[in-house]
Structure 1
Amino acid sequence: MNTRLAVLGVPAKACSVCLVVLGLDAFPVHRTGLQGRASRCKGCHRERQALLRRDPAYKAAERRQQRPYDRQRARQEDRRAYMLGRSQLRRALEAGAEYDGHQPEDLLIHWDDEDLYACICCGGPYEHLDHNVPLIRGGSHTLDNLVPLCQDCNLAKSGKCPYRFYAERFPSLKPFLEPFFDTHERLTEEELAERQGGTA
């Protein structure tokens, strides 16, 4: 097969990894490569990419490079969630909550990383960004404290202790969650005023 390619004058080249002579269409297009093709054949190229994607350092570098494009896409494609994030940030700052400096588009990227695409309680389309530990209970405005909820679940949860709320929604989890009930006590008006005064 390979010798036939050479005899017939079909454009061909040898793969730099497996050293097999193949037709040019067996190599990925590469603008600066010899004959406009990459040095590795498509099979060797796929194997190399598979190895790289299993390398944590490569994955982290790839993610860092992708972040600016993800932010731009989040702004353009999910304007509703972007505006919800801005609204929640304003509420959190007014309440004097801890804030980690994330932007609304960073939250969408974080949810994408965690496979959070729907309401975490019922699995329906999310309509609200909820503070898992409510602001009134001292919750922070950080990526790990923001979760997607639909309108019904968000209204049902309100300012409740998250562990108590999830135990109500998922009775089978109650034995595991009960020790944490009311871990986050609702703050009194005086405590809220003191907290806001301390952050001013």
Structure 2
Amino acid sequence: MSNKLRAVVKKVEPMCSGFLRVNRYEVDVERHEGGWRTSRWEVMERGNSVAVLAYDPVRDELVLANEFRPGALVAGDYPFTDNLVAGGVADGESPLDAAVREMKEETGLELTHPILVHPGAFVSSGGTSEKIALVAGTVDASLASGALGNPDESEDILSVVLPAEEFIRRVREAEITDLKTLVAGYWLAERRARSTHWG
């Protein structure tokens, strides 16, 4: 396509301003077949985040976080899920620095040799402005134990250690239901198939 379509925000109306902010946007949107239309969308805004694929190359294991997920409960699914360690990226903080911080906060583990797998993809651009970056790094999985997390953020997080092949099997057999964790699992499987590593 030679000409990019345009969209112009005309009005922003705050709907909710708790931990998550929801705004209603009135937007003039250029149509694919010519002309314009005015539409209204409600968009959830909470800033950007990072997810961490934490791998122990000595033990060939991964460290995940098991915690209560309210969205899964509301959807009628089992709400205690195994996911990548993840959290918000503060203003002025890089995804790599946020990954190291979140790993320490949620598991007590030091993340070393972090690399940026993806700088940030939309979680669901039809309803939220949030982008999530994916970082991979190494940890000592033998040190993972107990439940941690920030109680001020209602976190109660149990570290889960899985053999890499078991993690990939759970991804492929749809036992993992968290999208960022699925993406990281397929990335890891592709790396292992090509016998390439990071760090």
* Greater gyration radius: 1
TM-score of the aligned structures, taking structure 2 as reference length:
0.20
The answer to which structure has the higher helix fraction is 1
> Relative contact order: is structure 1 or structure 2 higher (C-alpha 8 Å, sep ≥ 6)?
2
